A and B are shown apart, each in its own frame.
Chain A
Amino acid sequence: MSLLIKNATIVNASKKSSSEKDILIEKNVIVKIGKSIKADGVKIIDAKGKYVLPGLIDLHVHLREPGREDKETIESGSRAAAKGGFTTVVCMPNTNPVIDNCMIVEAISKEAKRVGLINIIPAGSITKGQKGEELTDMFELKKAGCLAVTEDGMSVSNSGLMRYAMEYAKMVGLVVMDHCQDSDLMGSGVVNEGDISMELGLKGDPGISETIIVARDIELARYLNTSIHLQHISLARSLFLIRAAKKDGVKVTAEVCPHHFTLTEEAVRSFDTSAKVNPPLRTKEDVAAIKKALKDGTVDCIATDHAPHTYEDKEADFDHAPFGMIGLETAVGLVVTELINQNIISWPQMVEKMSATPARILGLENKGKIEEGADADIVIIDPEAEWEFKKEEVASKSKNSPFIGRKLMGLVETTICGGKVVF
């Protein structure tokens, strides 16, 4: 059945349209955009007063399937994504077993298709079993449906192997993403190394664990003339390096997470394990630097690093609770509240960082934009709606979020994926 969105204020990365238009969708394609489109036998959605954006694309999500279906499944994660306005997510390979061969990629794709809500693109691991020893069969991963590889959860510590990974991935057409963190420097750190770790006696992760790998990856990308995508950047100093590299013509892109521009290390003062995340929450100077980098374009994407964990796992003491927080359902609210309403970025910039650029990085030519001929992946947001993130309304299987109870602006009203209303 066809869909007609009436009175839409369309927001693309290029601009927010100044007048309301109608969008006609047939099957999974936007066929027509114009004033007062007439169509018979179509389902009509009135978007009066709402912003209509291309479906959001999250480059960084943990769906936990296979292996930890008690934390999240492809189905529950798809629901959480749709509720959060995401129509495409890239799921990280640190599952059990690791996404390191085509069989697992195919199994995930099959399940994603059965669920049939949103597009799920698996990221393969860089090394077999994430052991940091041998490269995965990247050609086969690509053929099975991976668009990217990453060792997320850690870096490939062997720089020689990382070099080969970047060269090889370029040949087979896979995006290389890196979780920038030197594991020796990180040690058993659980919070940012600084005033909080000093005072609370918690083990600190020094920021240089990130910046050293950022610098290494930039140098590798420069030398090899390949591109690299740096995941969940958390530090002012990393952004300084990335800014300089971009200026120098290095093909580096970077993502940041909403929690890293919303919270500081102060959030762990009460030993709240829901604020234990990796990389850790940093200082207010880092938060300010992230906002500046979002504004000036040093940061290309906003990704959630949605990391579901059960209540039982998070109930452990601070040292032993796992890293991570869920993020799919709060991303829009946090971006609107913390960035757009604070005049850090505009609505078109939000589209750029949460849809257009992620689509470009992944090579998804028909996504990330609302125009005739593009995929009918669309999110309708009420920019004025204030809402509270309530635990009992969380769609994700896990509820580990320090934002529970927080009031946010910008509510996802409808999510359309492939021409189908999925939320």
Chain B
Amino acid sequence: MAEWTKHSLLDLKSLSVEEIEMILETAKSFKEVSSRDVKKVPALRGKTVVMLFFEPSTRTRTSFELAAKRLSADTINIAASSSALSKGETILDMAKNIEAMNVDAIIVRHSCSGVPLVLADNLSASIINAGDGCREHPTQALLDMFTINEKLGKIKGLNISIVGDILHSRVARSNIWGLTKLGANVTVCGPSTMMPAGIEKLGVKVSYDIDAIIPESDVLMLLRIQKERQDDKRLPSIREYAKIFGVNQERLRKAKKEVLIMHPGPTNRGVELSAEVADGEYSVILNQVTNGVAIRMAVLYLLLGIREPVSA
């Protein structure tokens, strides 16, 4: 395997195919660690990882924290509200203060696109993007790719449909970059008011008809429709969204036998997908969550670990 050289993980746009494959490969060995009785390896002993989350998160934060702990790193959680910053402190200032305590990595989530890039430009700690605005959420896409690869044995040539609010989705953007790099045929599907113009330029097809794409899809990746975004009036109602784009058993009758139903969570049951589908035979939603820890261990290990084979 080639040498890992990146200091930070900011997005999938800037990763090469080899780098993505290296993360996916590394995650395989770490997945095994999490299935042991003693779920811990000493790979990052003595390293300090800070989670700086400016947006609420349960899943991603917990996943990163478990990943770091299973690698024996020390972790600190900072649920930074914007109120902490209203005292005249900027994000950069806050991050510099944290770095001054000699931390090795800062895992950052922020509601504004670009914040991790600005931190990476100004700090020497490794920066891991845990979601920035509507731009990217690289570890989510990596765990999605890992799950697809695990279940279907490949990514190249698969028809993967991403369904929902594409405009506001960092998960969609990261997956588009990652999946197209690995050779998947990606289709994005959703309401026309939530489809950014020119998205075809990223190498995807656009559809507004979920029933037309279901039969050919190997993977249906459903995105959360954010009810709190309803104030911007892009949708008449959540009810109507569920009717047009919601995946239920009825719709899935036309799907491939091995179709994977994926969702980055948290799901709106009865909106993007019915409860039956979420808990049904095609759903790999919980596998995604499990694999998230392995992916994040791999990322932390590659960024912070000593360059030796995994002592798994």
* A198 in contact with B114 (CB, 8 Å): no
For A270, the closest partner residue in chain B by CB is B117
Do A202 and B232 contact each other (CB < 8 Å), given the known contacts A194-B197, A312-B90? Answer: no
* A317 in contact with B136 (CB, 8 Å): no
Q: Which residues of A contact B170 (CB under 8 A)?
A: 201
* A202 in contact with B134 (CB, 8 Å): yes
| B113: contacting residue among A195, A312, A315, A318, CB under 8 A | A318
* Cβ-based interface call for A316 (8 A): yes
* A271 in contact with B196 (CB, 8 Å): no
* Cβ-based interface call for A187 (8 A): yes
Q: Which residues of A contact B112 (CB under 8 A)?
A: 317-320
CB distance from A275 to the nearest CB of B (A): 12
CB distance from A211 to the nearest CB of B (A): 16
* A195 in contact with B198 (CB, 8 Å): yes
Q: Which residues of A contact B181 (CB under 8 A)?
A: none
* B135 in contact with A319 (CB, 8 Å): no
* B113 in contact with A271 (CB, 8 Å): yes
Most buried by A among B114, B133, B173: B114
Q: Which of B78-131 contact A (CB under 8 A)?
A: 88, 90-92, 110-115, 117-118
Q: Which of A171-205 contact B (CB under 8 A)?
A: 187, 193-195, 197-204
CB distance from B161 to the nearest CB of A (A): 19
* B197 in contact with A201 (CB, 8 Å): no
What per-residue 1/0 map shows which CB atoms of A318-346 lie under 8 Å from chain B? 11100000000000000000000000000
* Cβ-based interface call for B201 (8 A): yes
Q: Which of A83-98 contact B (CB under 8 A)?
A: none
* A198 in contact with B91 (CB, 8 Å): no
* B111 in contact with A319 (CB, 8 Å): yes
Q: Which residues of B contact A270 (CB under 8 A)?
A: 117
* Cβ-based interface call for B202 (8 A): yes
Do A318 and B114 contact each other (CB < 8 Å), given the known contacts A187-B232, A198-B197? Answer: yes
CB distance from B171 to the nearest CB of A (A): 11
* A197 in contact with B117 (CB, 8 Å): no
Q: Which of A102-155 contact B (CB under 8 A)?
A: none
Most buried by A among B112, B198, B232: B112
What per-residue 1/0 map shows which CB atoms of A284-323 lie under 8 Å from chain B? 0000000000000000000000000000100111111000
Q: Which residues of A contact B210 (CB under 8 A)?
A: none
CB distance from B86 to the nearest CB of A (A): 11
For chain B, the count of residues having a C-beta within 8 Å of the partner chain is 28
For B169, the closest partner residue in chain A by CB is A201
Q: How far is the CA of A195 from the CA of B196 in the complex (A)?
A: 9
CB distance from B111 to the nearest CB of A (A): 7
Q: How far is the CA of A318 from the CA of B92 in the complex (A)?
A: 13
Q: Which residues of A contact B232 (CB under 8 A)?
A: 187
* A201 in contact with B110 (CB, 8 Å): no
Interface of A is mostly: loop
CB distance from B177 to the nearest CB of A (A): 9
* B198 in contact with A194 (CB, 8 Å): yes
Q: Which residues of A contact B90 (CB under 8 A)?
A: 312, 315-316
* A271 in contact with B198 (CB, 8 Å): no
CB distance from B96 to the nearest CB of A (A): 12
CB distance from B19 to the nearest CB of A (A): 19
* Cβ-based interface call for B252 (8 A): no
* Cβ-based interface call for B33 (8 A): no
For A315, the closest partner residue in chain B by CB is B90
* Cβ-based interface call for B244 (8 A): no
| B173: contacting residue among A187, A201, A204, A320, CB under 8 A | A201
Q: How far is the CA of A411 from the CA of B240 in the complex (A)?
A: 62
Q: How far is the CA of A320 from the CA of B54 in the complex (A)?
A: 14
Do A317 and B110 contact each other (CB < 8 Å), given the known contacts A201-B136, A202-B134? Answer: yes
Most buried by A among B13, B113, B118, B196: B113
* Cβ-based interface call for B238 (8 A): no
CB distance from A136 to the nearest CB of B (A): 32
Q: How far is the CA of A195 from the CA of B232 in the complex (A)?
A: 21
CB distance from A253 to the nearest CB of B (A): 32
Q: Which residues of B contact A201 (CB under 8 A)?
A: 113, 132-136, 168, 170, 173
Q: Which residues of A contact B199 (CB under 8 A)?
A: 198
Q: Which of A182-239 contact B (CB under 8 A)?
A: 187, 193-195, 197-204
Q: How far is the CA of A317 from the CA of B202 in the complex (A)?
A: 25
Q: How far is the CA of A317 from the CA of B116 in the complex (A)?
A: 10
Do A317 and B91 contact each other (CB < 8 Å), given the known contacts A202-B133, A271-B114? Answer: yes
* A317 in contact with B115 (CB, 8 Å): yes
Q: Which residues of A contact B136 (CB under 8 A)?
A: 201
Binding site for B on A (CB under 8 A): 187, 193-195, 197-204, 270-271, 312, 315-320
What would 29 A/B residue contacts be, using CB atoms closer than 8 Å? A193-B197, A194-B197, A195-B198, A198-B196, A198-B197, A198-B198, A198-B201, A199-B202, A200-B113, A200-B114, A200-B135, A201-B113, A201-B132, A201-B133, A201-B134, A201-B135, A202-B134, A203-B134, A204-B196, A270-B117, A271-B114, A271-B117, A271-B118, A312-B90, A317-B91, A317-B112, A317-B115, A318-B113, A319-B112
Query: What are the 9 closest A-B residue pairs judged by CB atoms, nearest first?
Result: A201-B134, A271-B114, A201-B135, A317-B112, A198-B196, A319-B112, A201-B113, A315-B90, A202-B113
Extra contacts, 6 of them, besides A201-B133, A201-B136, A271-B114 (Cβ < 8 A), are A198-B197, A198-B201, A201-B168, A202-B135, A317-B118, A318-B112
Binding site for A on B (CB under 8 A): 13, 88, 90-92, 110-115, 117-118, 132-136, 168, 170, 173, 196-199, 201-202, 232
